[in-house]
Amino acid sequence: MGDIPGLVKISVSLKIQPNDGAVYFKVDGQRFGQNRTIKLLTGAKYKIEVGRIPSLCRTMGIGGVNVPLEEKSRDAQVASYTGIYDTEGVPHTKSGERQPIQVNMQVCGCLWGRSLAWEDEGGQQGADSQGEVWR
């Protein structure tokens, strides 16, 4: 097993559908706890592209909405996925307010901890992991 990275960078791209339109943000200063907020429309569909994931990704959740992901490409280190986030039925936020949105991802085959290689006095070798493997 190779080294486990201390930090995993994941890229997420949103494009409003149809026609892969731009998603805009607003500069709000610090009045909502963030300098910039993303502007999403209710009743719209967004194409989600997720990249640089080091393991198998099944689904993504955005604000309580399940977004099934389909693998687009994969190499030895990372994979990329695409899915559709549908905001139909998501309540809109009142003017002048912002609503934080939780984003989560379900990945398979993640190793939590560090790998451990060993060799005993008799010359037998093996590998184990310290931590848990989730599948």
When the pLDDT of each residue in the chain is averaged and rounded to a whole number, the result is 76
Predicted TM-score (pTM) of this structure: 0.68
Q: What is the pLDDT of residue 10?
A: 79
1 has pLDDT over 90: no
Cα gap 51→40, rounded to integer Å: 21
Cα gap 21→14, rounded to integer Å: 9
90 has pLDDT over 50: yes
For residue range 6-56, what is the model confidence (pLDDT) as tens digits?
566 778 888 999 999 988 888 877 777 777 888 888 899 999 998 877 677
Per domain, the residue ranges of the chain are: 11-109
Cα gap 86→78, rounded to integer Å: 26
